[in-house]
Amino acid sequence: MIDISKRFPGVQALEKVTFDVRAGEVHALVGENGAGKSTLMKILAGVYHADSGQIIFRGQAASFANPYDARAHGIGTIYQELMLVQYLTVAENIFLGKVPLNRLGWVDRKKMVQEARRLLQRLELGIDPTTIVSDLPVAMQQMVEIAKALSFEAELIIMDEPTSALSQHEIEVLFATIERLRAEGRGVIFISHKLEEIFRLANRITVLRDGRHVSTQSVSEMTETQLVQMMVGRDLTSFFAKTASTLGGPILRAQGLSRRGQFYDVSFTLHSGEILGLAGLVGAGRTDVARAIFGAEDIDSGEVYLAGQRIPQGSPRAAIKAGIGFVTEDRKLQSLFLPLSVLDNVVMPKTETMAYAGMLDAKAERKLTHDFVQRLDIKTPSLAQEVSNLSGGNQQKVVLARWLAIGPKVLIVDEPTRGIDVGAKAEIHAILSRLAASGVGILLISSEMNEILALSDRILVMRDGRIVGEFSAEHATQEAIAACALGLDHGH
């Protein structure tokens, strides 16, 4: 890709960016959200057309009319947002657009299932090809997306945050698959915010910042510190230091929470000003417990108390009224109203209290939203901007602004920095730290061990729906928490 430029209304997304991939290499493409990575890849994949510049593929000048055209030429793309048809089977999704036909021109279902099984076995996946996709967990759906790309025998595969929803075992399977693709002479473009993955997998790294090419170097020539400085354009050595907070009295108490098949007899206390980390493997029951506390999921038994008052179960409205905010794991599907504006998203839980004689107070709504845009440094052209047009980090800040607007006593945050860049991640860590210092109790669920260790005053570990360990910040180590989550040791 030579001197690629692309402009959208009000923003120069790419400015003369040059990028190349060799056969048999993993080339990592990194940069903060909004750096231009996705735009560059969408041009390569035929989703967008460049305003200027040239693509050369296999020695020939190329221009792809649409994604199907790019795919037909041998370019496969695995997007962070899954592109699967939920009500079709795994096999039907894998062969969507190129189903095998028999001599009569009918769909050869037997052959389709056989081929799908072969591809899934290549990925070491024990998924039945006849399973409906919506019945699979997100991690397995991600692996189906990878099998789909492999089914096209693509020579160049673009992977955009492919591990964001995978467990450690599934990540290892994916990495082994990437190694096989490299050995077969295919090119892989790997986009990830996880630096340890980049340094483990990539041959070369290209850094984009503000739509421009900053650097392309061999992995052996670069350190993590240098890479981060290139990405954010500033020194991050003292970028985040947790604000010391004084723990107050108990603010939230969960007592004997159980839901058959999900979690059992979960009890804990959260203090005001405390960040309580909830660690564990994917599927341990952490999110289910959080949803139960917020009233979004029914429980078979147990009670939740906020400041000594029992909260009615099964009512998020009651939880919000009591002062509990909930930043969900999937901001796009569960937290944000993507077609609505920044203002509409921020004031959503406040509409009842901001109405006067049945009419919304537009001036008060604007002032509230403007205050939070400034306070959280949300980068948006205006309060009327559609949230769908913001970067991942700024979308997450809009979600935080919504819950901070209710003046919460407790904030539950589930994977608060998933899929956002290192700079925005440090900013969100600082916001959470300041909140705790102001007396808010925070329940932090994260699969990133570094995040749990950096932020938490105390850490609970869940396994198979139960709390199996507790660590104070000073005694918590990555090894001890992992051993406890895997059942190899008991926390204390």
At residue 360, the pLDDT reads 63
CA distance 322 to 311: 8
Identify the pLDDT of residue 17: 97
Say if CB 481 and CB 279 are below 8 A apart: yes
The whole-number average pLDDT for the span 473-477 is 86
CA 116 centroid distance within chain: 28
Average pLDDT of the residues of the chain? 87
* Dist. CA 327–CA 369, nearest whole Å: 18
What pLDDT is stored for residue 433 in this prediction?
92
Cα(172)–Cα(57) distance, integer angstroms:
30
Q: What is the dihedral of CA 471, 472, 478, 479, to 10 degrees?
A: -50
| pLDDT, mean of residues 401-423 | 86
**Does 250-485 match 2-232 at the fold level?**
yes
CA 152 to chain CA centroid, Å, is 26
Residue 65 has pLDDT above 90, yes or no: yes
Residue 222 CB contacts under 8 Å (≥ 6 apart), including other chains: 205
Burial 38-61 (b: 16+ CB within 10 A, else e): bbbbbbbbbbbebeebebebeeee
130 within 8 A of 113, measured Cβ to Cβ:
yes
**Separation of alpha carbons 486 and 240, rounded Å:** 30
Instruction: Find the mean pLDDT for residues 73-78.
Output: 90
Query: Average pLDDT in the 459-485 region?
Result: 88
What is the pLDDT confidence band of residue 387, given thresholds at 50, 70 and 90? Answer: confident
Amino acid at site 442: I
What is the pLDDT averaged over residues 245-255? 90
HSE of 436 in the Cβ direction (CA atoms, 13 Å)? 28
- Predicted confidence at residue 33, as pLDDT, reads 66
The structural domains of the chain, with segments of one domain joined by +, span 2-232, 250-485
Per-residue pLDDT, averaged over 25-33, amounts to: 89
With a cut of 80, say whether residue 330 has pLDDT above it. Answer: no
Q: Is residue 479 over pLDDT 60?
A: yes
- Say yes or no: domain 2-232 is CATH 3.30.390.50: no
* pLDDT at site 492: 52
Q: How many residues does the chain have?
A: 492
Q: How far apart are CA 294 and CA 326, in angstroms?
A: 7
> For 250-485, CATH number?
3.40.50.300
Residue 237 pLDDT: 45
Residues 6+ apart with CB under 8 A from 322: 306, 307, 309, 311, 409
CA distance 128 to 117: 7
Q: Write down the pLDDT at residue 274.
A: 96
Buried b (16+ CB within 10 A) or exposed e, 263-295: bbebebbbbbbbbbbbbbbbbbbbbbbbbbbbb
Q: Are 465 and 444 in contact (CB under 8 A)?
A: no
Q: Which of 209-218, 350-359, 401-410 has the highest mean pLDDT?
A: 209-218
* Tokens describing residue 55: 């693509």
* Count of C-beta atoms within a 10 Å radius of residue 230: 18
